[in-house]
Amino acid sequence: MAGGGFTGHDVHIDVPLSQVAIAYNPRGFIADQIAPMVGVNKQSDGYYIWDIADAYRVEDSKRAPGAEANVIERSVSSGTYFAKNYAFKDRIPYEDIKNVDAGAIFLERQARAEFIKSKLYLDWERRVALMVTSGSNCGSYDSVDSGWTDKRQNYSDPLGCINTAILNVEGLTGVRPNSILFGRYAWHLFRQHQEVKDCIFGTAGAASGGRVVTLENVKTLFEVERALVGGAYYNSADEGQAASLARIWNDQVLVYYAPMAASKTEPSFMYSFRWDAVPGMNMTAEVFDLPRNKAEEVQLGYYQDEKITAKTLGFLIVGVGSSQ
């Protein structure tokens, strides 16, 4: 029974703890709304990329009486994914287990599981951010002519920049973007901008203040389903050094299309391919007993690959915090 409740097994999947871990959603992370998660049956496989030209070509649909329907063709290429394994574990010494109040060991394991899940989400968030804030991974990208740091109307033009991005994606793909992602600093500048406030609230009472721009305003203003602010930070310092916090999302704005519900047949700027065939590797909690180390370990992990699946469905605006 060493290690707080094991019954002769070196490792087991803790069902109650897994339920807690799966239900726990760390705050501030948005990667799954940029790259919706699609379940896959194999760790490595291909996915279809449909040709836009075929999708939008007007074909002759007239059928003569008694004749067969006209045959149309659809060109398709493919991409591939490989769901890599990501996992962390945290160790609980026997001394801590024996010193907790009776029945509190589950809460101790729960705290470790939630911490691990937060760390896994942080890693996922930064992987996605590094991909989508690179202009080469988007259909188009551009820097602003004048930084949004100048809040005077008709000088810098955040509304024009975003509308240009929306029209660009729609013109290239025939699909209107449904999502706008602001980096934290970009959002700060956007919601303080005079032009934005005047467009939403009008100019009456401008001098009195109190005109607070919200994400709901953004959804209405640009006719999109999703408006996000990337607010997560990470520690850029090496282990053992003092913390040096940096924004994962900064002064960029990403305009993109991703379905509100993931589907293998629905186009998306990005997808996350999640493979859950290996027991214990879909954010479930495994508990290991380590008698030699006089400790037990709580481990969570998953298999996943994030892919840009339709780069033309994304437009990146960079440098909105510049002082031009």
Instruction: For residue range 42-52, list pLDDT tens digits in order.
Output: 999 988 777 76
User: Does residue 206 register a pLDDT over 50?
Assistant: yes
pLDDT at 225 over 70: yes
Residue 164 — φ and ψ, nearest 5°?
-60, -40
Instruction: Tell me which DSSP letter residue 24 carries.
Output: -
**DSSP 8-state code for residue 282:** B
pLDDT (average), residues 162-190: 96
- For residue 291, pLDDT beyond 50: yes
Contact by Cβ (8 Å): 31, 181: no
The pTM (predicted TM-score) of the whole model is: 0.85
Mean pLDDT value across the chain: 87
Q: Domains in the chain, please, with CATH? A: 11-50+80-318 (3.90.1690.10)
pLDDT at 287: 87
In this structure, what token pair is assigned to residue 225?
Answer: 């389903």
Mean pLDDT of all residues in 273-299? 90
Closest CA to 171 of 4, 13, 306, 312: 312
Question: Read out DSSP for 156-217?
Answer: S-HHHHHHHHHHHHHHHHS----EEEEEHHHHHHHHH-HHHHHHHH-STTGGG------HHH
Considering 53-67, 257-271, 303-317, the range whose residues carry the highest mean pLDDT is 303-317
The most confident of 132-146, 198-212, 262-276, by mean pLDDT = 132-146
Q: How far is CA 251 from CA 116, 186, 231, 317, in A?
A: 29, 4, 11, 9
Mean pLDDT, rounded, for 202-225: 85
pLDDT of residue 43: 96
- What pLDDT, on a 0 to 100 scale, did the predictor assign at position 265? 74
Would you say 298 and 116 are in contact if contact means Cβ atoms under 8 Å apart?
A: yes
Least confident interval from 151-160, 168-177, 284-293: 151-160
Q: What is the pLDDT of residue 180?
A: 98
Q: What are phi and psi of 214, to 5 degrees?
A: -120, 170
Alpha helices in the chain (DSSP H): 15-23, 31-34, 52-56, 94-99, 105-132, 158-173, 184-192, 194-201, 215-222
pLDDT in tens, 115-165: 999 999 999 999 999 999 999 999 999 999 889 987 665 678 999 999 999
Share of the chain above pLDDT 70, in %: 87
According to the per-residue pLDDT averaged within each range, which of 21-25, 156-160, 201-205 is highest?
Answer: 156-160
Contact 14, 109 (CB under 8 A): yes
